[in-house]
Amino acid sequence: MSESVQVQGEAAKHARKHACDECRTRKIKCDAVRPACLSCLSRGLGATCTYKAKVIARTEGHQKKRARLEGGERIPFTTGGDHAPPSLPRRPIRVNAFDAFGNAHVMRRTTRGAADKQASTLPSSSDPGLASQVYAVAEMCPQPDKIFEAMEFYIDRVEPTVALFNTVLLRHHMGLFVDVITSILSKPLRAVLEVDEDGDRRGRTAPGASSISPPRQRVLIAMGLSLLVLVLHHMPVSEVIARQLVECDTPEEVVLSQASLHDAAMSMLQQSDYLQQPSLWTLQTIALMRLYWFERMLFSHCTVWNLTAIRLGHSMGIDRLGSLLDDLDKEEERANVSHTEEQDKKDSEHWLEVMRGWASVWVPRFEEQDLALRELGRRVWCNLVTADCILNSHVDCFFATPSVGAKVHRMQTKPPWPGIGDEDVFLLQEPGERGDRLRARARQTTHGSSHESGLLASAQFTRQIAERAPGEPFDRPRLDRLLTLLPDGPMPNLDDDRRLFLEWCIHSVILRSGLPGLTTALKPGKSVLLKTCTSSALGLVDVRRRMERSGLPWRRLILARTVLFQAVLVLVAVLLEKPADSTIARDLDLGRMRAEADEAMGHLRHDIDVTGKRNPVELPALEALEKLYGRAVAPTPRQDSLFEQLEIPGESVDYEEDVQWLLSLLWQGSGDH
């Protein structure tokens, strides 16, 4: 036997000697160098693995021995006291795919395999502001073991299809969260660890938690609080009170606690270093917050893990996930058959494997692309706090990609329509034979919830419109594909569900194409953008004409009519200014704009005559718009600027004040939609 073989045999024997009992019995590779033996956890053997119990016992032995030598009582090193943490083993620290998200930055490799001493000696409570915030949160936040109960509720009942590696990540990060919280509050860590019947400690200790810097601790605490807020949102109020998840006795207090915890999590994240040092805690926190916000506002059914994986994968340019989706689409198109229960089950298992493999591929890229992650965090955070994010992120929650979103949604709840699936709605705008087939199926659908159908359709078509960059003209081919859903001629016998579906589609197009253009058109010195604004306005007029021909009840869409009003206002503003730049004037086609504005004014007069009693605030607005329209189409050419004083016999009018007054009336009148 050669010397190299002997060396390998000795190394294998040494590894088996230090492996946990389960891995040694099965003769599999053990990850025992990391606490809790994540190899066993990843294989679903956490209940039989004995390694983490040995780690906890050894850690407590270190603490007792140190306290005895010092002559005092046992002081847990996680409280940030004077005692240094116990030295780590000198074996190389292997970063596993399941825990590299949270700990790779904590225990960095050195030449001797030990953790960085500078990082490992940071006291957990070195930030007085953080400690005071944690004490304030502790008054309304439950004990950490209650948070573990909430986490179990989330995994078991809210998201039953969560993949195994996600469960491992969540447990691991919540263990760190408990360690940080208890160390700041100076409570014994043992007291908050709960042991299951099978001996599995859910809140395992994390030796690296005490070495996390205060800015990182803020991110970790924000993640834990966000998870609790999401669970409180899903759990029945009576169950929240019975479990005592928060210090509340009435439903009103539970709602207030949700808002307070959400604000505390937002504050923690804002004060952290999430942009300078991005981590998965940051991304999970943002995803949790977004999910809570958009579920509360728009009743989305997305899963937080799917949202995180897909959005981050696409934002970071990881094209492997996208190629898998393309392959699946090709397979479905080649098969050209509807899914059966057996096929759905097979696809579900396939995607669980895909997500597990995706984690191992994505982890190293996470470590390499700090700059991309920093920019990603900035973009996501900006989207989180802007008004426009409601529509965009609602669509992201539902359908970041057609296939994955559809699979997860189908596994969680039944599709809104029995005869049409989520991915079919996504593809309703597809050109060609496949799109025709899907549109034919959609026309045959006569069942389902009107509310869910409307939200689904709105999300799908809004996603298509949302892909435009700010200020980009509306894509007319997309509008044409959307309007192909409208049959030629009136539809008196249209069922309510189908009618509502089409109205939501048109509503989404109008909302996305009309609102952004108005603000740019009415700013001084922005005449170069008028072409973009008029493109959106003309598109709205075209939509109105097609809906009138199809017999759809436009008057039911109060907000849509308001946006048409804005479109006319844009056209009138351009006609009033008559830009001096001949190129812009030629491109704008002022003659066509005048004809379109005249037609749209006719529609508005008719609609206001019918619904004026229900919404009287639009009557003075229409009168003001007609006055402006009369000036715009007057034969005398104007040479002054858009926002200069208009000298008209008998009155002096400031055009800018007119516009602002019109807008205030519009928003007052659009609140009853």
Is residue 383 within 8 Å of residue 284, measured between CB atoms? Answer: no
Alpha helices in 522-557 (DSSP H): 530-550
Residues in the chain: 673
- Burial grade of 7 (CB within 10 A; 0-12, 13-18, 19 or more): exposed
Q: Rounded to an integer, what is the distance from CA 541 to the centroid of its chain? A: 33
Compute the average pLDDT of residues 324-351.
49
Radius of gyration of the chain (CA): 31
3-state SS string for 448-514: CCHHHHHHHHHHHHHHHHHCCCCCCCCCHHHHHHHHCCCCCCCCCCCCHHHHHHHHHHHHHHHHHHH
The model's pLDDT over 411-424, given as tens digits with 9 standing for 90+, comes to 222 223 333 333 33
Residue 6's SS3 state is helix
At residue 323, the pLDDT reads 42
What SS3 string covers 254-316?
Answer: HHHHHHHHHHHHHHHHHCCCCCCCCCHHHHHHHHHHHHHHHHHHHCCCCCHHHHHHHHHHHHC
The most confident of 21-35, 200-214, 240-254, 621-635, by mean pLDDT: 240-254
Task: Please tell me the least confidently modeled range out of 170-179, 364-373, 389-398, 630-639.
Answer: 389-398
**288-315, pLDDT tens digit by residue?**
554 454 334 322 323 333 333 334 433 3
- CA–CA distance from 580 to each of 518, 571, 584 (Å)? 20, 16, 8
**462 neighbors 394 (Cβ within 8 angstroms):** yes
Q: 22: helix, coil or strand?
A: helix
Residue 20 scores a pLDDT above 60: yes
Q: What three-state secondary structure class fits 557?
A: coil
Classify residue 210 by its DSSP letter.
Answer: G
Query: Is the pLDDT assigned to residue 202 strictly greater than 60?
Result: no
Identify the band that residue 214 occupies on the pLDDT scale cut at 50, 70 and 90. confident
**Which comes out higher in pLDDT, residue 190 or 543?**
543
Whether residue 67 contacts residue 61, with contact meaning beta carbons closer than 8 Å, is answered with no
Q: How far apart are CA 638 and CA 631, in angstroms?
A: 10
Is residue 396 within 8 A of residue 312, CB to CB? The reply is no
Lowest-confidence segment of 245-254, 352-361, 592-601 by average pLDDT: 352-361
User: In 3-state terms, the chain is what percent helix, strand and coil (to 5)?
Assistant: 65, 0, 30
What are 109-138's pLDDT values in tens digits? 222 233 233 333 333 445 667 877 887 777
- In whole angstroms, give the CA distance from residue 218 to residue 382: 19
- Among residues 225, 234, 229, the alpha carbon closest in space to that of 157 is found at 234
Q: How far is CA 174 from CA 366, 564, 666, in A?
A: 20, 50, 48
Check residue 246 and give its pLDDT: 79
pLDDT of residue 30: 64
Cα–Cα–Cα angle for 592, 466, 390, nearest 5°? Answer: 120
Q: What is the mean pLDDT of residues 212-229?
A: 78
Distance CA 569, CA 575 (A): 10
Q: Is 337 left (phi over 0), alpha (psi -120 to 50) or beta?
A: beta
pLDDT tens, position by position, 575-591? 765 555 555 566 667 77
Q: What is the pLDDT of residues 269-286, one digit of tens each?
A: 667 765 454 455 555 555
pTM over 0.75: no
What b/e string do you get for 556-583 counting C-beta neighbours within 10 Å, with b at 16 or more?
A: ebbbbbbbbbbbbbbbbbbbbbebeeee
Under the banding of pLDDT at 50, 70 and 90, the label for residue 145 is low
More confident call, 452 vs 430 = 430
Instruction: Report the candidate in 464, 450, 488, 284 with the shortest Cα–Cα distance to residue 391.
Output: 464
For residue 593, what pLDDT is reported?
76
DSSP, collapsed to helix, strand or coil, labels residue 398 as helix
Amino acid at 272: S
Residue with tokens 């007319």: 476
Average of per-residue pLDDT across 19-30 = 62
